[in-house]
Each structure stands twice: as C-alpha cells, then as structure tokens.
Amino acid sequence: MIVTLTRIIKYGFQTFVRNGWLSVSTISIMILAAVVFEGLILFNVTGKTAINSIQEKIDISVYFKSTTPEDSILSIKRSLEKLDEVKDVEYISRDKALQDFKKRHESDEAISQAVDELEENPLLAAINIKAKDPREYKAIASYLENKSLQEQIEKVTYAQNQVVIDRLVGLIDTMRNGGIVLTIFLAFLAIVVTFNTIRLAIFSSNDQIGIMRLVGASNTFIRGPFVIEGIIYGVVAGIVSFIFLIPIVNFLSPYVNSFIPEMNLSMYLGTNTVALISYQFLFCIGLGILSSIIAVRKYLHL
C-alpha cells in the first residue's frame, strides 16, 4: 500500500513536470478561477455590508402632540417593542430634541440666537422606529393608524418616506439577486474552464494511460497520478492567487470605503486571512481533484 502510494505521488509529480507549459497553462486558469472565487466571497461580504448599511439608515419617526404625557409615549414605545417586525425603538424627549437641534446648528448664530429667545420648546417628543426588514415598515405604519393612538400622535413620517423606502427595498432586492446570479455564473464559468484545461492535460497523456492499461495497471493506479497532479495544481494556484489578491484588495479598499464607510476590505482581508486561505485551498484543491477524476474517467471507461 505504502509503496503503491509512493509511486502514485512520484508519477504525479513527474507528470506535472513533464507537461511543462500545459501545467503552467492549467495553473494560470485555476489562478483566475481562484481569484474569481475569492472575489465572489469579498463581493458577497461587501454586498451584505452595503445592504445592512442601507437598512440601518431607514427608519420612521412618530411625533406626539405636545399635550401627550410622557408615560403614554413610553407605553406606546413598549407596545411597539413587542411587535415582531420591530428591531429597535428610540425615544427622544422634547428636551433631548431641543438639545440635538442646538447642537446641529451651533455654527449658525442666527438660528442659535432665535432658539435662545424662545420662551417655550417648540419641538415635539418622538420615537424613531427601525424594522427588522424594510418591507415591514408598512405593517408598523398600519399599527400606528389605530384610533386609540391617533389621538396622541401628531405625525408619522412613513407616508413622506414611503417612496424612498420602496426604492431602497427594490435596490436591496436587486443587489441580493444580482449577487446570487453573478456568483452562480462566475463559479460555473470557472469550473468549466478549469475542467476543460485539466482534461486537455490528461488528453496529452492518452498514450501513457493506454500503456498502463496494457500492462495491467489498476484504475486506482492510473487515476492516482492525475489526482496528485490536480492537487499540485490546486496548491500552487491557491498560494499564487492569494498573493495576487492582496494588492488588488489594497487597491480597491479606499474606493469601496468611500462608498461604504462600514466596509474596510484591507482590514477584512487581514483579520480573515486564515479563513480565506483555507477557502482558497479547499476550492482549488477540490476543483483540481474533481476535474482530474471526471476527466480521466473517459479513458478508464468507468
């Protein structure tokens, strides 16, 4: 068993070296496939971060009449927190609203002076509501239309923001669906191209396979060197592709960060290096082994 395994590994390395430029061509294709694979991972992470960022910026505000007691507002807040659709509810008192308003306009002397001269706080207490899913704001707005609540509520901003929310929901759906379609297409393309390239490499060894069959070699012994060759392709492609990926990520990181401040590609790559390299090796080695096994079946008549 050990002798057979040693010979298989030896012949695998010999085939890899003997094929020369064909091995380089196969590894090059696998490197492209691996870069695409890692790109898909980073794309999905970036897309998910972008979606979460958009969702965090969506909310609706409920403004209460100046005569509404604070206890009643807090009671409504607690009732909203019990809804399955609600993720978070923030209460902003009239005093807090005034403080925030002054802070936002502290550089504008005219506004600051006008606010200081007011005898009474003109701002209303409010609660800001974030839903677990943007599609659920409509259900929350319907809940707020209850007659018992309307007597205390001055205004709900859902009607004003409905068009924007609907457009953002459409954008989120498009990003999700587009990411899924792009992932499937590029993954399929990478697998097909790599498989055909490895199949070409095995085809060049057609005579060698025929001779091995004539001398009575088992299917396992014939298949073994090509599987080892596929593993070598995968290991080399995994290492080189990750090295290529580092400068690409560092180059793209500032541009991605300018659009999505919450996403730092360079930092993500640094903190997830081990996981990404592991995925890379699993993908490349798995692709090499699978392509080698499938491609050699034609010559083994299995």
**199-256 confidence digits (pLDDT tens):** 776 676 667 777 777 777 677 777 777 778 778 888 888 888 888 888 888 888 888 8
| CA 191 to each of CA 75, 168, 186, 244: distance values in angstroms, whole numbers, following the listed order | 58, 34, 9, 20
Tokens of 282: 């699993």
Contacts of 33 (CB under 8 A, 6+ apart): 190, 191, 193, 194, 237, 283, 284, 287
Q: Does 302 have pLDDT greater than 60?
A: no
Total count of residues recorded for the chain: 302
CA atoms within 13 A on the CB side of 142: 7
Residue 19: its pLDDT value, please?
Answer: 66
Contacts of 149 (CB under 8 A, 6+ apart): 76
> Between 2-19 and 21-56, two packed helices, what is the crossing angle to 10 degrees?
90
- Output the pLDDT for position 159: 65
- Compute the C-alpha angle 49/42/37, nearest 5°: 150
pLDDT of 190 reads: 64
The predicted pLDDT at position 4 comes to 66
H or E stretch at 295 = helix 273-300
Among 286, 298, 288, 300, CA closest to 220: 300
Predicted TM-score (pTM) of this structure: 0.63
Rounded to 5 degrees, what angle do the CA atoms 169, 174, 177 make? 120
Q: What is the mean predicted confidence (pLDDT) over 33-39?
A: 79
**C-alpha–C-alpha distance, residues 65 and 98, integer Å:** 15
Give residue for tokens 């080892």: 228
pLDDT of residue 12: 65
| Residue 3 confidence class, pLDDT cut points 50, 70, 90 | low
Q: What is the pLDDT of residue 178?
A: 75
Is the model more confident about 232 or about 166? 232
Q: Which residues pair with 63 in a beta bridge?
A: 126, 155
More confident residue, 39 or 251: 251
Mean pLDDT score of the chain: 78
CA 257 to CA 171: how far, in whole Å?
Answer: 19
Angle at 125 between CA 119 and CA 128, to 5 degrees: 145
Q: Which domains does the chain have, with CATH numbers?
A: 2-54+169-300 (no CATH), 66-151 (3.30.70.3040)
Which of residues 69 and 223 earns the better pLDDT score? Answer: 69
